[in-house]
């Protein structure tokens, strides 16, 4: 790999390290998702609003939820790696 | 960026579903054509789908103790096409709505329009425009992915503002509020997604393409 080709992999690695560091420094408290903040804002703006529907099914705990998120990421990564590998070996 | 289940009045939920519908129909036709064409097209769609699944699962803590996730739509939009990506993005959204309770089925139309349609076409448009201006491929890809991400969040903010702005201060008071909520978390993520997209496109090069580039 040329020196120029190293720029992006290094950048990505740096970002991952940064994300982990931020996550650590945030402590135990799970950061509130932007989606949840938007939901709170909806209730502030329209106090009478009643959500028309609830999700059919919800993960029982935060642990279960992160497990499912990890599963989704793993599936995506597998599909990506497999496809990229096949594309690269294409003559 | 998902609007949670139930968090759009029925009229809005149905309206956005109606707007998304033609993109789905057209996209499904394009995807089924791609699946029967050259194997390369199928593999590129596979890579695009995998990337979108991976990125939208990454809940990354961002500024101000908030977290959000990138969308991963741009890669597929520039490599496979924005119409195809409207379908792939929607599959990701259905999965997240049913399995993770993120987003929802009533809000699927709105979320698909914001992420898969606006996000995909923005990426494609920026990519074509940048290419015509003769900018380097890395720069154009980076901009396509980052702007696609931001366009998605602006659309979500717009959808929430026209649905809920009416009661107090109207749309123009509500829109900046929702933009503020999303923008803070989304700008760093858009930059990260831009870099990752460039990385993966370079990785997915075939040997022939890489060799040609070295010669040129």
Number of H helices, E strands in chain A: 3, 1
Residue A5 confidence (pLDDT) above 60: no
Residues linked to residue B66 through DSSP beta bridges, in sequence order: A32
Under DSSP, is residue A80 helix (H, G, I), strand (E, B) or coil? helix
Q: Is A73 on the interface with B (CB under 8 A)?
A: yes
Written as six digits, the tokens of B162 are: 């026209």
What's the pTM?
A: 0.85
Q: CA–CA separation, B24 vs B36, rounded Å?
A: 19
Query: Per-residue pLDDT tens for B68-126?
Result: 788 999 999 999 999 999 999 999 999 999 988 888 999 999 999 999 999 999 999 99
Q: CA–CA separation, A88 vs B170, rounded Å?
A: 52
Q: CA–CA separation, B54 vs B69, rounded Å?
A: 10
Q: Which residues of A touch B156 (CB under 8 A)?
A: 38
Residue A24 confidence (pLDDT) above 70: no
- pLDDT at position B182 is 86
Q: Which residues of B touch A61 (CB under 8 A)?
A: none
**Do the strands B60-61 and A32-33 form a parallel or antiparallel pair, or are they unpaired?**
unpaired
Query: Per-residue pLDDT tens for B193-211?
Result: 999 899 888 887 765 666 5
| DSSP 8-state code for residue A4 | G
* Residues of B (169-198) whose Cβ lies below 8 Å from A: 174, 177-178, 181-182, 184-186, 192, 195-196, 198
Under DSSP, is residue A32 helix (H, G, I), strand (E, B) or coil? strand
Return all residues near B133 (Cβ < 8 A) that are at least 6 apart: none
- The 3 state secondary structure assigned to chain B is CCCCCCCCCHHHHHHHHHHHHHHHHHHHHHHHHHHHCCHHHHHHHHHHHHHHHHHHHCCEECHHHEEECCCCCHHHHHHCCHHHHHHHHHHHHHHHHHHCCCCCCCCHHHHHHHHHHHHHHHHHHHHHHHHHHCCCHHHHHHHHHHHHHHHHHHHHHHHHHHHHCCCCCHHHHHHHHHHHHHHHHHHHHHHHHHHHHHHHHHHCCCHHHHHHHHHC
Q: Is B34 on the interface with A (CB under 8 A)?
A: no
Q: What sign for the dihedral angle of Cα B90, B96, B97, B99?
A: positive
Q: For B160, which residue in chain A has the nearest alpha carbon?
A: A42
Q: CA–CA separation, B65 vs B67, rounded Å?
A: 7
Contact B67 A88 (CB under 8 A): no
Q: For A88, which residue in chain B has the nearest alpha carbon?
A: B206
Q: Which of A66, A26, A79 is nearest to B58 (CA)?
A: A66
Q: Is B38 on the interface with A (CB under 8 A)?
A: no
Distance from CA of B22 to the nearest CA of A (A): 25
- pLDDT at position A41 is 87
Q: Is B133 on the interface with A (CB under 8 A)?
A: no
- pLDDT at position B213 is 57
Residue A14 confidence (pLDDT) above 70: no
Q: What sign for the dihedral angle of Cα B179, B99, B194, A18?
A: positive
Q: For B97, which residue in chain A has the nearest alpha carbon?
A: A55
**Do the strands B60-61 and B66-68 form a parallel or antiparallel pair, or are they unpaired?**
antiparallel
Under DSSP, is residue A88 helix (H, G, I), strand (E, B) or coil? helix
Distance from CA of B23 to the nearest CA of A (A): 24
Q: Which residues of A touch B204 (CB under 8 A)?
A: 83-84, 87-88
Q: Are B195 and A8 in contact (CB under 8 A)?
A: yes
Residue B160: half-sphere exposure toward Cβ, Cα within 13 Å: 36
């Amino acid at each position: 790999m040329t020196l120029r080709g190293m720029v992006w992999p290094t950048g990505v690695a740096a970002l991952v390290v940064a994300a982990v560091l931020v996550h650590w420094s945030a402590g135990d408290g799970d950061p509130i998702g932007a989606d949840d903040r938007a939901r709170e804002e909806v209730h502030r703006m329209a106090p009478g609003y009643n959500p028309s529907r609830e999700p059919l099914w919800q993960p029982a705990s935060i642990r279960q939820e992160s497990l499912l998120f990890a599963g989704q990421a793993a599936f995506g990564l597998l599909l990506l790696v497999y496809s990229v590998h096949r594309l690269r070996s294409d003559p | 960026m998902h609007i949670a289940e139930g968090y759009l009045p029925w009229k809005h939920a149905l309206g956005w579903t109606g707007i998304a519908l033609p993109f789905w129909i057209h996209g499904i036709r394009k995807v089924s054509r791609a699946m029967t064409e050259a194997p390369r097209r199928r593999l590129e769609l596979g890579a695009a789908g995998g990337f979108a699944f991976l990125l939208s699962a990454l809940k990354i803590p961002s500024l101000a103790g908030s977290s959000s996730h990138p969308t991963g739509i741009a890669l597929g939009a520039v490599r496979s096409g924005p119409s195809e990506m409207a379908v792939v993005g929607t599959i990701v959204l259905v999965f997240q709505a049913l399995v993770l309770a993120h987003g929802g089925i009533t809000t699927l139309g709105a979320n698909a329009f914001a992420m898969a349609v606006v996000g995909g076409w923005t990426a494609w448009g920026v990519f074509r425009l940048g290419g015509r201006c003769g900018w380097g491929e890395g720069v154009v890809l980076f901009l396509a992915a980052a702007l696609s991400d931001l366009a998605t969040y602006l659309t979500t903010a717009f959808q929430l503002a026209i649905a809920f702005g009416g009661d107090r201060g109207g749309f123009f008071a509500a829109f900046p509020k929702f933009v503020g909520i999303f923008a803070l978390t989304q700008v760093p993520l858009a930059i990260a997604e831009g870099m990752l997209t460039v990385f993966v496109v370079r990785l997915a090069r075939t040997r022939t393409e890489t060799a040609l580039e070295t010669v040129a």
